[in-house]
Each structure stands twice: as structure tokens, then as C-alpha cells.
Amino acid sequence: MATARKGRELFTILETSADTESTTVCDSQESPLNLSADVKWFEIPYRKPDSDEEDEVREDEDGEGENGFTSTAAAAETADAASFIAGGGCNIILVTGSSNGITHDEEEYAEDCYYSTSTNCSDTTSNDSDIDFSDLEEEERRSFFSFEDDSDDDCTSPDFWGEPDQVIAIEQFSAVSGPQHSLGDDADTRDYFRILFPDSLFEHMVEQTNKYALYRQRRSGKSDPHWHPTDVREIKAFVGLNILMGINQLPDTGMYWASDIFIGNAGFKKTMTARRFEKLTQYIQLCDRESEPVRGERGYDALFKIRPLLDVVENTMWDAYTPNRCLTIDKCAIVMKGRFSPTQYMPPKPLRKGLTVWMLCDSRTGYCHRAKIYVGKPSEDEEAASLGSRVVTSLVRGLEGQYHHLFMDSFFTTVPLLQRLLRDGLYACGPTQPERKGYPEVLRADNVGKLTQGEFYQCQRGNLVATVTRDVKVVSCLSTNSAPGIVGISPGWQQGETDGESEGDSMNCSGLSFGVPRPLPLLLYQENMKGVELCDQLRECYQVGRPCKKWWRYFLWFYVNLCIVNAYIILRESRGGAPPAGFSGKQFTQRHFRVRLAQQLIGDYQGARGMERAARKRHADSPIEYGHRLERMSERSRRCRNCTNKGLRHESVFGCKICNVHLCRGGCFSEFHK
């Protein structure tokens, strides 16, 4: 048994051997809100201390506790809990009501976060509420869940927060969730990718790329002899090659077309020439650049260059997968080497310079439902201060009244935002900054003092619960989906010491560490705040596209990569992990998905070099009849292609314009065309 430091005992940790095989009801129950099965949790109802008013003491003596527990029954239940835990395999934290250790000038804060022990485990499942409110009347449930009256109150007033003794109401999530499509069992990777990135986008890219190439040539006053209009098949092959570049990574783009057999890629050479790939990279476009409004004009859009892509992909990502109960809101960074005004410099981060994108992802699968690009701070100070609130409300638009559970970063979590989300039928949880508006003064560092590891205090206002605890460091948290007084330990494996000495009290002989006790809001946050990280891990494994100086191309390849990740998740969820037809491997991973998708995008496309070689073979008997003539190519002499193929070095200003090669005057022309 380990207790907190003397004078400020807040809880008692009862640990048992993990080797003991437990068959108790507590172990068989599922944890709330996708909580890992390794985390043992316990519900601890609030009870005022013995120093309360005299009538309450008299009520306790008569057997009428405040929360329905008698004083003798509570003692008996505590004893039964200790014996129950000692005989089972649960790692449970019981919070004892000795002293909260909080000092404040006002008496109303003197008993905040004060708990008593109980042994009634919540009889819930992963799809139900954490709190059993079956005994409540319907009017009471509506009053607990409704925040209409609280919205009018000032969250900074001293009487806004109260003791953590209120019953919270968590409505059951019953909406249909998961992939939404009509594909059959014979669907392949291209079909799943087409759900998120339809063929209409490729057609739009072809149209705007050809228009932009003519636009650039008109502006420069010169025609590009190496450019000819593209088509849908070529653009698909171009995207497929960029996908393969993320799997077979080389330092330079030209190395894929190198003549060295150990470096060059035969598939790339067969698909298109290096020059053609460079020209497509140079002219690829998503918008009509001639109609782009400049800054200051009416209708100016900072994301005009990728707006057609955003309009399509945002709708397809939202419609293809109905959100599950637990969702994550966090930001991700995109590496960028070009110039873009909203680029952020973040010295503490591993990625110091990059573009910021806020994402709404599924906490279990990592599927990205929405992404919002940061385009700079608003001009007004008030709008800049509410940036986090505006980001969250835009990401969760359309989820109102469905009782989803949102887990957010500390950048977003504020008391007004959680109140607004609760009014809209959305629960939320996340760390916050104690200096922000509405956070209880009693839980700030000056009033709480120095906490020991695992020690915590809580305040409550309806469903809104504020928590301060010390894990590795002091953490402040706000939640509307967690009842106060529920704590638990997440066991983890650690490597034992090699010097033969005995382990500490927190680790048994098998190397199982019991970790630090955490209140329920932090346990839920730890288990469900991983959706964006899962999406980033899948996306960062294989990059799409090459670095450049144009900022909008980073977003183009970002969304292409994001559609690939989402399509892979949809395939995996729809088929239950079974690979598509024709796959002979043991496990269908994301790498197999990407390779298969790139091959299907490229198909049997054969670019300029393949057509050029076919034309040479077809016209070998009479090259002049088909327009192949020996003409002056340029003023500067270049190496003869025919002599180079024979290992000789001769230069000439003459050659064949149709084949686009320099040739010596004499026999090289006929030899080359044979």
C-alpha cells in the first residue's frame, strides 16, 4: 500500500499481484469510452467529511448518506473492497477522504475535491454512459444535460464552480458509423481511392494544366518546344509515379531515369521520359490562374490555387466515413521549403518550419474526416483570441446533437468552448492552461501548492469538471464526459534490473509496472487522443511528391496522400482486414496498397519515349517518307546519339527534329533510324 505524503493524504493505492488470475465481475466489465482493458477503473461517489453541519452528521447516523450510502454501509463496503481487491487481480485506486490540502480565503472552497470510498463498479459498456442515471427522472436528466442556464452565468464568478458531488448525464451514442459506400467484394484499391479522389478531379487537372501551359507561353512570348497537351491517362500515370517515389525514395528526381542499372528504374523509363515528367511538374495546375484575384480585391482567397481540390476532397472525405463516437482534434505540420506567409516557425518542435493543418480524426482508426488549413491570424484581436474556438466549431459542423466525444489539444480547450459544445450535444475533454478564462481559481498553482505524483483535485459545474493533477508534471484538464472521483492505473511492462537487486514497490518480480494513478479525464485523454497521430504515422511513412518552392503543391500532395490513407482505412474496415482479390501475400499492408494503387493508375500507359521508339521501328525502311529529315538542330553542336550508342564521341549541329536527337552528317542518320 502506498499513500500520499503526510498531512495531505488524498488517495490510497491498493495493488495486488498481476499473476493472480481474476474471475471477478470488475475485470469482466468493459472500460468506458474505448478505455484500454489494461486500465482498471473505479467509481468513487462524493461524500462530505465528518466536519460538516450537525444535521448532516445526524443523517449519517440514521443511515441516510448524501449519495444514498449509509455510514455503516460505506465502512462495510470499504472493508469488502479491500478484501475483494486482495483476492482478485484488479489494480484499483480508492480515494480516501482525509484532507484535500487546499487552502483558500473563502470557506466555499475549503472542501473542494474531497472524496470517500465506495466499491460499486459502474455497470457500463464501451457504447454506454460512464454513469448510471437510470434512477433519475426524465426532468432531472434534462436539467443535468441542459446548459441553457449556465450559459448566462459568468464563468469567472467565484460561485461558478462547486464541489465535485453532482451527478453527470451522458447521453448514449447511437448513430450509425463506419465506411459508407456501395463497393462489392471484387472492388480493388483504385475503386476505394476513387471514392475520395474522383476522376472528375483528374479531368479538372488536365484542363487547368493545359490552360496554364498556354498562359505561361503567352506571358513569356516564347513557345515551349518540349510541351504538348496532356490527357487524363498521362496525369494518372504522373500521380502514380509520384506515389511510387515515396516508396522507392532517391535523393534526386533524375536518378529514377539514370542509365545505371543499379539506380535507374525501368518502370519509370517505360512510363514517360524524364523531360516529360519535369514538364508536367512545371505546368501542373488546379485553378484558372488568369482569373485569380490579387490581394485586396473583392473575392480574394488565400487558398485560391487549391480551392477546387478542397471543395471536392472535403466533401468526399466527410461522406465516405461516418464518424464514430470518439474523435480527436489536433494539428499536424507539413514540411515546406518554399515561401508562404502563414508558414510557422516552431523552435521547440522537431519540425521547426512548416505549414499548419488542423485535423478531425477518428480516435481508433485514424481516419481524417476534416482538415482546416491555417492561413494566418485574423486582423481583429477578438477574432484572433477565439481562433481555437472557431477551428473546433468548423471541424465539428454537422455533428450537433449526436453525442460524440471530442478529445482536443490544450490550444483549444476552454470553459466557454466546452459549454458551447455541450449545448450542441457534444462532449469534450482535453488539457488546458490554468490561466485561461473560467478555470477555477482554487485549482491554480498558487492555491493548490506542490503536488505529489498522482495527487489530484477537482471542481465541478454540472457536466463540466475541472481537474488538476501531477503526472510527470502538473496537468490541468477540463472535461464534460467524465464523472469526478473515478481514477485508475495503467499497467505497463518495464525491463527488470540486471544487478540482481530487488525491485521497488511499484513493480513486481515479473517486471509489470503499475504506473501513476490518473483521474478519469486524463485516462480517457490518454487512450483517445491518438487519432491525428495515427493518421500522421500512416501518412509520413510514404511521402507523395517532391520538394519545391511553390507552397500550394505541398497541399496538393498532402491531400493526395491523405486520400490514400483514408482509402486504405476504408478498405481495411470494409473487408475486415481481408486483402483484395488477386493479392497472394500473407498480410495486406499500406505499402501493398500504395504499390497496387500506383500500378493501377499507371496501367499500360506508355509515354513519349515508347511512342518515339515505336515510330522509329515503323519508319525504319523509309524515314524520309514519314517526315524524318536531317536538318540543322541548333547553333551549338551536341553529341551525336548514334555515335554515343557505339561508344564514340562526335558532335554535330544537325539531327532529326522528329526524333529530337543530334546526328552526324553521313551514315549516322540512316543507322540510327534502322
pLDDT, residue 174, reads 86
pLDDT, residue 340, reads 59
pLDDT at residue 541 greater than cutoff 80: yes
**From start to end of 9-114, where are the E strands?**
12-14, 40-43, 92-94
- The pLDDT confidence band at residue 355, using thresholds 50, 70 and 90, is confident
Whether the model clears a pTM of 0.85, i.e. scores above it, the answer is no
pLDDT, residue 142, reads 41
Share of the chain above pLDDT 70, in %: 66
pLDDT, residue 40, reads 54
pLDDT at residue 313 greater than cutoff 60: yes
**From start to end of 347-411, where are the E strands?**
353-362, 368-373, 405-408
pLDDT at residue 16 greater than cutoff 70: no
* 59-101 pLDDT tens trace: 444 444 333 333 333 333 433 433 332 333 333 333 333 333 3
**Scanning the structure block, which residue is given the C-alpha cell 522507392?**
248
CB 120, CB 43: distance < 8 Å: yes
pLDDT, residue 52, reads 46
CA 121 to chain centroid, in Å, comes to 33
112-116, 395-399, 549-553, 562-566: least confidently modelled range: 112-116
Q: Which three cell numbers stand for residue 338?
A: 518554399
**218-229 as b/e, with b when 16 or more CB fall inside 10 Å?**
eeeeeeeeebee
pLDDT, residue 658, reads 78
Q: Please tell me what DSSP assigns to residue 172.
A: P
CB 73, CB 81: distance < 8 Å: no
- The pLDDT confidence band at residue 179, using thresholds 50, 70 and 90, is very high
* 104-138 pLDDT tens trace: 333 333 333 333 323 233 333 333 334 333 333 34
Task: Please report how the helices 551-575 and 531-541 are oriented relative to each other, as an axis angle in degrees rounded to 10.
Answer: 110
Amino acid at the residue 270: K
* 273-312 pLDDT tens trace: 999 999 999 999 999 988 888 887 888 888 899 999 999 9
pLDDT, residue 275, reads 92
Q: Which of 176, 237, 181, 175 is nearest to 205 (CA)?
A: 237
- The pLDDT confidence band at residue 366, using thresholds 50, 70 and 90, is very high
Segment 168-180 shows an average pLDDT of 90
**CA separation (Å) from 445 to 414, 434, 457, 475?**
18, 8, 11, 10
Mean of per-residue pLDDT scores for the chain: 74
Cα 338 to Cα 380: distance, rounded to the nearest angstrom: 28
pLDDT at residue 395 greater than cutoff 90: yes
State residue 333 phi and psi, 5-degree precision. -115, 145
pLDDT at residue 620 greater than cutoff 50: no
Q: Which three cell numbers stand for residue 669?
A: 542518320
Number of H helices, E strands in the chain: 22, 24
Share of the chain above pLDDT 90, in %: 36
pLDDT, residue 647, reads 85
pLDDT at residue 220 greater than cutoff 50: yes
CA 564 to chain centroid, in Å, comes to 14
Q: Between 669 and 615, whose confidence is greater?
A: 669
Sign for the pseudo-dihedral over CA of 626, 631, 636, 639: positive
- The pLDDT confidence band at residue 43, using thresholds 50, 70 and 90, is low
Strands 651-652 and 512-513, bridge-based pairing: unpaired
Q: Between 19 and 188, whose confidence is greater?
A: 188
* 503-530 pLDDT tens trace: 434 334 444 455 678 888 988 998 899 9
pLDDT, residue 627, reads 59
**Scanning the structure block, which residue is given the C-alpha cell 486482495?**
86
Half-sphere exposure of 644 (CA within 13 A, CB side): 9
Segment 467-485 shows an average pLDDT of 89
Q: Is 354 helix (H, G, I), strand (E, B) or coil?
A: strand
10-19, 336-345, 564-573: least confidently modelled range: 10-19
Segment 547-555 shows an average pLDDT of 85
- The pLDDT confidence band at residue 329, using thresholds 50, 70 and 90, is very high
pLDDT at residue 50 greater than cutoff 60: no
pLDDT at residue 11 greater than cutoff 70: no
pLDDT at residue 319 greater than cutoff 60: yes
CB 375, CB 573: distance < 8 Å: no
Segment 325-329 shows an average pLDDT of 95
- The pLDDT confidence band at residue 321, using thresholds 50, 70 and 90, is very high
pLDDT, residue 168, reads 86
Cα 67 to Cα 166: distance, rounded to the nearest angstrom: 10
pLDDT, residue 41, reads 54
* 228-249 pLDDT tens trace: 999 999 999 999 999 999 999 9
